[in-house]
Amino acid sequence: MIVDLPDTNVSKISRALVSVREEGGAVALGRVLTLVIMTREGAMEEVIEAANDASREHPMRVIVLLIGNAEESDSRLDAQIRVGGDAGASEVVTLRITGEAGRSNLESLVTGLLLPDAPVVVWWPNRTPANPSETSIGRIAQRRITDAATKSDPSAWVASLGEHYAPGDTDLAWTRLTRWREQLAAILDQPPYEPVTGVRVRGASDSPSTALLAAWLRLALDVPVDWGYLDPEEWPHGIKSVSLVREGGEVLLERPTAGSAILTQPGQPSHELAFPRRTLRECLAEELRRLDPDVLYGRVITEGWELLDPPATKETQDA
């Protein structure tokens, strides 16, 4: 069910939500959180689809904010409510804001639509403020999600993450590393338990996760990490390989293609692993599983990043 509310206000939207639930038999009970999405025209449907898919694991209310041209003379709020089959296991409220309404405190527009006594998560899938925790919307949230992969310069964005970090911040570039971190941790938990003396990480030039993986390994293993980016013709997207150097030989986890990886260890046969790139829905659902601050992420982008050497140049990599 979809209900359009042109030129409206928060009070009318709240009443319409109650009416829609009563008419359709949908209830707010069981909603575990409110997800606020700050997005732009043209990207709205993709992020709503990801939120709807994630809502099957985390029933929630989704509030989508689209900020229009603040220079427009008309101050206007247009809303749309989606429930039932059009909203997965969530209820979606989209707010299109133009004119003076877009310049005022957005917190006042959102507060009246939040689920009572439920955590608030804010997600910036594309347009992101430099300091999310200091924005009016960020201050009311327990978790704040950004995505370095959508930035024009992902490497610079990752390098700046630690400057304005606040507990509750996270980035989907870190979430995309989960399978890599799980596999590498499993390798280190198996014999021969030799200490790692060096690490090498390579990835695509548009992959912010490559830098975060290098920072995590530098922090976790306390050894030098040689990391850098590959030419797009050599590897187009994501992380390509991780090498762990031990006294008994090199452990190599490398992707020959985007959907698989090969694990090579001294004295053992090679293993082919399913290693598909994670979808937006999978990353969002994982972040919504935990509403407490990700302490490890905070340490990686602050302590780990400070310890990490600059990326290897093309000349160094060739050598």
Residues 12 and 77 occupy one common structural domain:
yes
On whether the CB atoms of residues 260 and 274 are closer than 8 A, the answer is yes
Is residue 70 over pLDDT 60? no
Residues 134 and 201 occupy one common structural domain:
no
Among 286, 317, 279, CA closest to 49:
279
Residues 79 and 195 occupy one common structural domain:
no
Sheet holding 76-82: strands in order across? 2-5, 76-82, 91-98, 60-67, 33-39, 120-123, 143-146, 169-171
d(CA 277, CA 259): 6
Residues 140 and 214 occupy one common structural domain:
no
Residues 55 and 125 occupy one common structural domain:
yes
* Domain end (from 146, 163, 188): 146
Is residue 86 over pLDDT 70? no
Would you state the structure tokens that stand for residue 76, as one six-digit string?
A: 């206007």
Using pLDDT thresholds of 50, 70 and 90, give the confidence band for residue 316: low
- Report the pLDDT value the prediction gives residue 84, as an integer from 0 to 100: 77
pLDDT tens string 92-128? 999 998 877 655 668 888 999 999 899 999 999 988 9
pTM of the model: 0.92
**Number of structural domains found in the chain:** 2
Residues 128 and 199 occupy one common structural domain:
no
**Higher pLDDT among residues 192 and 145, named by residue:** 145
Q: 310: Cβ–Cβ under 8 A, 6 or more apart, which residues?
A: none
Residues 12 and 139 occupy one common structural domain:
yes
% of the chain with per-residue pLDDT over 90: 73
pLDDT tens string 181-202? 999 999 999 988 999 999 999 9
- Report the pLDDT value the prediction gives residue 199, as an integer from 0 to 100: 98
**Higher pLDDT among residues 19 and 306, named by residue:** 306
**Which H, E and C letters describe the chain, residue by residue?**
CEEEECCCCHHHHHHHHHHHHHHHCCCCCCCCEEEEEEECCCCHHHHHHHHHHHHCCCCEEEEEEEECCCCCCCCEEEEEEECHHHCCCCEEEEEEEECHHHHCCHHHHHHCCCCCCCCEEEECCCCCCCCHHHCCCHHHCCEEEECHHHCCCHHHHHHHHHHHCCCCEEEHHHHCCHHHHHHHHHHHCCCCCCCCCEEEEEEECCCHHHHHHHHHHHHHHCCCEEEEEECCCCCCCCEEEEEEEECCEEEEEEEEECCEEEEECCCCCCEEEECCCCCHHHHHHHHHCCCCCCHHHHHHHHHHHHHCCCCCCHHHHHC
Asked, for residue 246, whether it belongs to a domain, the answer is yes
* Domain end (from 102, 129, 146): 146
d(CA 285, CA 54): 5
Residues 125 and 254 occupy one common structural domain:
no
Residues 109 and 11 occupy one common structural domain:
yes
Domain holding 188, by residue range, is 178-279+309-318
On whether the CB atoms of residues 113 and 63 are closer than 8 A, the answer is yes
Residues 101 and 233 occupy one common structural domain:
no
- Report the pLDDT value the prediction gives residue 287, as an integer from 0 to 100: 96
Asked, for residue 129, whether it belongs to a domain, the answer is yes
d(CA 17, CA 215): 45
